[in-house]
């Protein structure tokens, strides 16, 4: 990894963080388009984690507005990233997906996601 690659990655992350504070869709667009530009794992992982954070924030925003179906989409996207990078956060995302399905009266799906969250938490020391 060159210094230029690192600077470019930091610039993308800073642009996404700035966008996150006011426009989650813009941050998502920035982060979705840029990972292909970074062939090295550390930069790509940093961008993916930032994208997960944007999906979590968007899911929370939608949740607060009782838009559970849309929240589920973003929580699932965050989980897809976090399941291999941040297991404890992934467990919380599974639980939130279960809660969203519960709010939608889709109890079998809610139960399935609660079970997955519990199963993952049981494997983690601080969950």
All structural domains of the chain with their residue ranges: 3-122
DSSP string, the chain: --HHHHHHHHHHHHHHHHHHHH-HHHHHHHHHHSGGG--SHHHHHHHHHHHHHHHHHHHHHHHHTT-HHHHHHHHHHHHHHHTTT-HHHHHHHHHHHHHHHHHTT-HHHHHHHHHHHHHHHHTSTT-
CATH of domain 3-122: 1.25.40.10
Question: Tokens 């930091």 appear where?
Answer: 10
Are the CB atoms for 84 and 120 separated by under 8 Å? Answer: no
Is the overall model pTM greater than 0.95, yes or no?
Answer: no
pLDDT (tens digit per residue) in 47-102: 888 889 889 988 999 999 999 999 999 999 999 999 999 999 999 999 999 999 99
Are the CB atoms for 77 and 31 separated by under 8 Å? Answer: no
pLDDT (tens digit per residue) in 20-44: 545 666 666 766 665 566 666 677 7
List the structure tokens of 15: 């642009």
Phi, psi of 83 (to 5 degrees): -60, -25
């Amino acid at each position: 990894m060159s210094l230029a690659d690192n600077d470019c990655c930091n610039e993308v992350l800073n642009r996404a963080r700035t966008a996150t504070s006011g426009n989650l869709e813009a941050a998502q667009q920035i982060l979705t388009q840029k990972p292909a530009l970074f062939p090295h794992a550390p930069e790509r992982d940093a961008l993916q984690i930032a994208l997960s954070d944007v999906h979590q924030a968007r899911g929370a925003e939608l949740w607060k507005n009782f838009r559970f179906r849309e929240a589920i989409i973003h929580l699932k996207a965050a989980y897809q990233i976090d399941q291999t990078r941040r297991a404890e956060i992934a467990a919380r995302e599974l639980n939130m997906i279960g809660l969203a399905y519960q709010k939608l009266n889709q109890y079998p799906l809610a139960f399935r996601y609660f079970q997955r969250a519990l199963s993952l938490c049981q494997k983690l020391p601080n969950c």
